[in-house]
Amino acid sequence: MDVRKFLTSAVLCGLMGVFSVGNIASAVTVDDNNAALGSEAIVASPNQYPEVEGKRIVINIASRGLYLYNQGVKTRLYPIAVGKASTPTPVGYYRIVDKEYNPTWTDPSTGKSIESGPACPLGYRWMGIYGNYGIHGTNRDSSIGSYASNGCIRMHEEDVEELFELVAMETPVDITYNRVVVEKAADDTVVYYIYPDGYGWQPLTNNDVNTWLKGFGVDAFVSDEDIAEKIQSADGNPTFIAKAYPIYVNKKKISGKAVVRDGITYLPAISIAESSGIALNTNNGILVSKYGKAVAQNFKNQLFINSDDVYTLFGMQGGFADGVYSLNGKIVSEKPQEITAPVPVTNVETESVNTSVATGNVVNDVAENNAVEPEAKTEAVKEEPVKAEVKTENEVSKPDFIGNNTVQKPRNERHSFQQR
């Protein structure tokens, strides 16, 4: 298998996004233009070193990829080799502190030096980032895409020569360990990847992955069975989910996303009801407001409505403009009724998910079976008030990074180390 082609095709499909994930801190942070950063994560947030000429290098050890950003946009992706599990590449915030053409390598065990040329393990370019650690070429091209070095970052010779000319001294270098990557593709489709745990630093659960996907508003649209299978395979291949967009009600951003899948736009019913102060009830899988009725769509215990029904249910006009979904209408002044009950709801999940319970502080008595089959039986459930718990992308906190420049103690001489 051509690892270089694999990495390029697997990650470039999400070119406009950024990265996620890792191993130490807790909590999540989200930005539509960046990845959701997950629990137990070794991540960059934010680098103490400012961008130089608008550029920043980000290295993902788990995906074995080096990304060059210019003005916040990913412009280059290079496959790399990173440190072996026994000599891992150090995670942290760094910057380019040294640049050399035709570097000389010194064997630490013998003291013998090898000048630049075909036999030199450093190739023809060196960019030092900390102590003996750096980004360089290699005379072992087949190692690219693997865990092979003593901690340095190896690149194909043509790639390191290109990168060398693109970045200046002091350019920040963020090194992270990111098994889960969630991105937005150029067409706004949310795509996610799961990479192998090469260092054994980041075991994953379904809840971890759902947390990252929730940051993009699409967690309800991926079945838990599919997530478990993807964790098991950890092949680094992309999985495309749906397009997701922020929602504004009367120019105020609300929690949840407008999700477009298979040509249908789904809107989060509870979030809209709470932000507008409109009370909702249900009757046999039908959401009922003082304005009208609409079918309740249930995805993994979250209630959505088809955007075609938003005027009928909320008395609002809505539509897409400039990358957001905007709703405009009158805000109800009275507080909505607290009539929630955890009850069966309409399940229109197209995958293997088999969930049937929804909660929220504006939803009551939702029906059990598929709303597109009105003949399906319903089941009465005792009402028990429950407060909806919906976190916005701004309500979740960024995980702390695993120390600033926390690495193995550097050796005395920058190039006095074994094959890098």
User: Buried b vs exposed e over 155-187: b needs ≥16 C-beta within 10 Å?
Assistant: bbbebbbebbeebeeebbbbbbbbbbbbbbbee
Looking at 13, 120, 136, 156, which residue is catalytic? Answer: 136
Catalytic-residue membership of 156 = no
Distance CA 10, CA 221 (A): 21
Catalytic hit among 120, 152, 156, 415: 152
Structure tokens at 43: 């991540």
Based on the residue annotation, tell me whether 13 is a catalytic residue of this protein: no
Q: What is the dihedral of CA 365, 350, 294, 393, to 10 degrees?
A: 80
Give the total residue count for the chain. 420
Tokens of 158: 């043509």
Residue 5 makes CB contacts below 8 A (sequence gap 6+) with none
Q: Are 108 and 418 in contact (CB under 8 A)?
A: yes
In degrees, rounded to 5, the angle at the alpha carbon of residue 7 between the alpha carbons of residues 58 and 32 is 50
Give backbone dihedrals phi and psi of 75, rounded to 5 degrees, phi first: -115, -20
Q: Is 348 helix (H, G, I), strand (E, B) or coil?
A: coil
Return the closest-CA partner of residue 189 out of 266, 259, 267.
259
Active site residues: 136, 152
